[in-house]
Chain A
Amino acid sequence: MADAFLNIQSVKNDYGATTVVQDFNLGVEAGEFVSFLGPSGCGKTTVLRIVAGFETPSAGAIMVGGRDVTNLKPNQRNIGMVFQAYALFPNLTVAQNIGFGLKVAGVPRAEANARVAEMLDIIRLPEFGGRYPYQLSGGQQQRVALARALAPKPKLLLLDEPLSALDAKVRVSLREEIRSIQKKLGITTVFVTHDQEEALSISDRIVVMYGGKAEQIGTPFEIYNRPATRFVANFVGTLNVLEGTVTDAAAGKVRVGESEIVLKQPLSDAKAGATLSLALRPEAISLGRRPGHDSSLSGLISDVSFLGSVIRIRVDLGKNAISLDTFNSPATPPPTVGDKAVVNFAASDLLVLAV
């Protein structure tokens, strides 16, 4: 972490008596795409604004490329930023918006024009240089905002929920475009979002934040499949949480309802009789027997939701309930509410939640 390109070291931020960010540490490697994911008010935007220089941390330091920038003003940091509300200058054309940073930096006109043309090509709007922001769609405006942020060749790119104001279809295409441009330019990027699908689909690593702290830092695969805390497990993806009682900690045996499940690892921290939370993703569960599904629980089907290609089935297991997804098959009608059901899964897919 000490050699990381962006180093956020023990950052804390208070607003009066309220602590918004507490002891936040993160190292972002050069060229890496890291997302801050969390619900509203978790402190993700505050950390981003501290990196940009719009907020001063109560404690801690920000290092960019080995240089301490904590006390530098935003206009001295050479950082690019894209805002949720686009923030294009309404009085300037698209080309003037993209060239604004270059003009401020005193780049010669010919060089600036060439860079603006290059950026317009990158965002695939070469014909739009003479238009004003109000003449563009939301997606186009955000692409221009991205080009404007990248034109002065910043060391670091910050994206503050840049897709939130766009409709679903544009959001998906633009996030892919952002990722592709980021990879092409190899620019170190920090992306703030509350949309887990966005974070999972485009990030090298994700920082899941809650209550001003980093709950877990990891690759999308790690975050989704091995959530470290109950919050991460609940926030990222859909999750079934089963309450069980430890019957034999050394053997990893847990009673869930009337059934006993044998975990793949011993429960070294738990004692017999202790209550335990186990998590299971819907896609890891099946109604019929499948190879590798070595554990099962019995219950009654309480709800069936037809979602198009997928059918989501809810099974009541007494104190617990479980949701599972099956693919829709025209040849097989979905089960009906009230039917008896046996749900099967692999014990290795069960996650023992730390909190």
Chain B
Amino acid sequence: MKAGRTWAWLTFAAGTAYFFIPLIATLEFSMRMRRGIYSFDAYQVVLGDVRFQQTFGYSVLVSIFTILLGVLIVVPAAYWIRLKMPYLRPVVEFITLLPLIIPAIVIVFGYIRMYGSNSPLPFLATARGTDLLLIIGYATLALPYMYRAVDTGLRTIDVRTLTEAAQILGAGWATIIARIILPNVLIAVLSGAFLTFAIVIGEFTMASLLNRPAFGPYLQNIGANRAYEPAALAVIAFAITWGCMSVIQVLSRFAPKSANQPN
């Protein structure tokens, strides 16, 4: 028993070291821009860079639209599958996993071939069209996370009975989804939204190949040409991701408590 406990602690310590040592090393390196002393000079340079502000602002905006598109597609789809076509769940789950299997570069090359300026749907002919295509691409990349988050949220409520209760009171489908289903899975939707945000903020392949001024290509560009700033950016990106995760944890405490599970 005691030996088992020691091994458990050793494994935990090894895992912690594996995760935190590179992070601490990166943080330490990012603060060595000024010779001889630790400083936040690299952070000041990065945060003061106009391109940082522009690319970060662009990626935040794109992530918001990606989240909206994801919610509009995933919530009704996951709800409908749970309510009317539960036999399709394995198929849909498999489809939502495809973005994890198919590399982003394959998807974006497909887009470039399909939606070039000579195609019937010339998304790439204009900057706005390309932005739209980027948002669609990001929504696809975020699908595995968004679908699972929403599906897990739907599992915690009695979808069928709540739907029937709303229907018999005169509600139509739009009212049921907007006023009953969505508010009850809002925390799950927010979880999916923050995961989507974290993906979009750091994504490089799609933004780079579609030639959009996103944060991912900026990170890559800085990394290739500077010494201390990439380390500062890595720490900032890490902080943003962890901030998103923390917000998910905090929000999950406010999830509506179900009335459908009698004590």
Considering only residues 86-130 of chain A, those with a C-beta below 8 Å from chain B are 86-91, 100-101, 104-105
In this complex, what residue of A is CB-closest to B186?
Answer: A91
| Interface contact A134-B170, CB-CB below 8 Å | no
Residues in B224-263 with C-beta less than 8 Å from chain A: 256-260, 262-263
CA distance A77 to B259 in the complex (A): 26
A83 within 8 A of B: yes
Given A90-B184, A90-B259, A138-B262, check contact A85 B161 (CB 8 Å): yes
Whether B100 sits at the interface, judged by CB under 8 Å, is no
**Is there a chain B Cβ closer than 8 Å to A209's Cβ?**
no
Docked CA distance A76–B135 (Å)? 39
Which residues of the partner chain A approach B263 to less than 8 Å between Cβ atoms?
137-138
Smallest CB separation, A98 vs chain B (Å)? 10
The CA-CA distance from A79 to B260 in the complex, in Å, is 21
State whether B257 touches A134 (Cβ < 8 A). yes
Let me know if B169 and A104 touch, CB within 8 A: yes
**Residues 31-56 (chain A) with a chain B CB within 8 angstroms:** 52-54
Q: B259 contacts A134, CB within 8 Å?
A: yes
Dominant secondary structure of chain B at its interface with chain A: loop
* Chain B residues within 8 Å of A211, by CB: none
Contact A86 B259 (CB under 8 A): yes
Chain A interface mostly: loop
Is B28 positioned at the interface, with any CB of A under 8 Å from its CB? no
B157, CB-defined interface residue at 8 Å: yes
Complex CA distance for A74 and B164, rounded to whole angstroms: 8
The A-contacting residues of B in range 139-162, CB under 8 angstroms, are 157-158, 161-162
Residues of A within 8 A of B164 (CB): 52, 54, 74, 81, 83, 87
* In contact, A87 and B170 (Cβ under 8 angstroms): no
Is the pair A85, B169 in contact by a Cβ cutoff of 8 Å? no
Q: Does A80 contact B (CB under 8 A)?
A: yes
Known: A104-B175, A138-B263. A148 touches B161 (CB 8 A): no
Chain A neighbourhood of B172, CB < 8 A:
75
26 contacting pairs across A/B (C-beta < 8 A): A73-B167, A74-B168, A78-B170, A80-B168, A81-B165, A81-B168, A83-B165, A86-B259, A87-B162, A87-B165, A87-B259, A87-B260, A88-B260, A90-B259, A91-B180, A91-B183, A91-B256, A100-B171, A104-B169, A132-B256, A132-B259, A133-B257, A134-B259, A136-B259, A145-B165, A152-B169
* Known A75-B167, A75-B170; 17 more pairs at CB < 8 Å: A52-B168, A74-B164, A74-B168, A75-B172, A83-B161, A87-B164, A87-B259, A88-B165, A89-B259, A91-B183, A91-B256, A100-B169, A105-B170, A134-B256, A134-B257, A138-B262, A148-B169
Which A residues are within 8 Å of any B CB, using their own CB?
52-54, 73-75, 77-81, 83, 85-91, 100-101, 104-105, 132-134, 136-138, 141, 145, 148-149, 152, 165-166
Chain B contact residues, CB within 8 Å of chain A: 157-158, 161-162, 164-172, 175, 180, 183-184, 256-260, 262-263
